[in-house]
Structure 1
Amino acid sequence: MTQPFRIRRLEAAATRAAAPALAAILKDCVEGGASVSFMADMTLADALAFWIGVAEAQAADGRAVIVAEDDDGPVGVVEVIPAGPPNQSHRGDVAKMLVHRRGRRRGVGEALMRAAEQAGRDLGKSLLTLDTVEGEAAERLYARLGWVRVGVIPRYALMPDGRPCGTVVFYKDI
């Protein structure tokens, strides 16, 4: 039987307080081969600096940071970032949807995405976009949740080991 988990939205101060746990999730994902902006030589200090930066940005731009937690602490996280340009005030970007390997295959990713969609609505957005690595589990999850696949940009990013990977772009009207 899988352990239950809870979903909650963090305020900027709580994101900063949770930064060490979120850094551990990010590091685990990169070590597991996820292409999420970092390379294999990323340190825990790099990951911590990233999440502290997210907390600072959250205080400035109002982005939503949502965590999934079980009895052992945070096991997943996702951000919804409001688009910046004035002509895109209706839109947000889903970013850093990460699930620690200990939390996979328990519905954490789906729960985080549903919460991200609600957070988008709460932020007054009607359109969300995201991108993910072509051919990975996340691509299948987003399609299953009704996200519309726009297309693939070949060799858009690198895997942590330096291999190029295609990036799939998705959107969803919410």
Structure 2
Amino acid sequence: MFVAVVLIVDFVRRYPYWSAALVLVVVASAVAVVSARAKQRARQRAEQAERDRAVAVTDGMTGSEFEQWFARLLEASGFRHVQVRGGSRDRGADVTAIAPDGRRVVVQCKRQSLTNRVGSAAIQRFAGTCREVHGGELCVIVTNGFFTAGDGVRLARQLGIVLVDRRVLETWAWTGTPPSSLRGR
């Protein structure tokens, strides 16, 4: 190591202009590599964002992929501290976040086939854990499908649970603007 330093110092003394040129080439190369990587990451993020705008992409996802997709949508919509918590022990909190207005958001994600609707039982289970277990101020059930009409939807309204179905989700994903019930007080 010491020998290398001595050789470099000697080279710089003998050839100061060549040394400066070599330093410029090395710095320019490093800047070019960093710039190319940054552009590639930005391009990948833009491509992912474009794919995420089409809610139909969720139809082929697994439940955990849908949770990740929805977490990206929350982040893109200005929600902070977005965390995917899904799994067998999540107690109904697949995603948590802080809304732009500071409220704690707890989300249950239901990735369904278009023929399978989210029913009253799922809404009731989530109602039992969102606020008491997870401290949710905004409780949200989101699905790439639809909710069954009837008691579950009425119960959700009564308990202040926001239901986001495919139509609302598609508008949100396309515009980047969450439904008014999630935007603020």
TM-score by length of 2: 0.33
Select the structure with the greater relative contact order (CA < 8 A; seq sep ≥ 6): 1
TM-score by length of 1: 0.34
Q: Which has the higher helix share?
A: 2
| Higher alpha-carbon Rg | 2
